[in-house]
Chains A and B, each alone.
Chain A
């Protein structure tokens, strides 16, 4: 049973560029959430996707956008990168129709913005 997978594992970008991160949920899960974890901090919620729509959003600017595909996989896009966007980006999946309370996390994508 495959767990949550994310790609790429590491990424280096420069300020102003755009980046796309990818996530495949745990088998059988239908909901994907994205988190940003800055160094030395806990994960901060970015947004959650269910049935290909953004259902909830945290306190992040519109530069952060996402998408969920019919196979439940998801992408996180960040435009006009800032130095402060450097972080570990975590994807988590859950099964909403069974309550959705428990999230399972992927290994993350470490983004460095220079």
Chain B
């Protein structure tokens, strides 16, 4: 079955530190892959997406993600985290009807 797994439920980082959120996918072919962010009580905002081509994808708010076929991963990274980045992050995969991971909650310490 096609699926997306986010192994970390919570991640805590200090403001200014680097960030990497993990996402693993299970699909037969290369899926469409997405990262969304959800602030408390809000809908989902698209950070970036990967369909094909360059495996390093740049998104909004200084985020990037790297598609690694050999590891079935699509991890989200940011070199320096800001307090406003504290939110829930969702990885999703598939076309037309994306399947979402359960999310990773990012906590940022001052």
A56: chain B residues at CB < 8 Å are 96-97
Q: How far is the CA of A103 from the CA of B45 in the complex (A)?
A: 10
Give the residues from 13 to 53 in chain B that come closer than 8 angstroms, CB to CB, to chain A.
32, 34, 36, 41-46, 49, 51
State which size class the interface on A falls in: 20 to 34
Give the residues from 40 to 62 in chain A that come closer than 8 angstroms, CB to CB, to chain B.
40-45, 48, 56, 58
The answer to whether B71 has its CB under 8 Å from any CB of chain A is no
Min CB distance A61 to B, Å, is 18
Partner of B95, one of A4, A101, A105: A101
Min CB distance B93 to A, Å, is 11
Q: B102 near A101 (CB under 8 angstroms)? A: no
Specify the chain B residue showing the minimal Cβ separation from A44: B100
Chain A interface (Cβ within 8 Å of chain B)?
4, 6, 33, 40-45, 48, 56, 58, 90, 92, 94, 100-108, 110
Chain B interface (Cβ within 8 Å of chain A)?
32, 34, 36, 41-46, 49, 51, 90, 92, 95-103
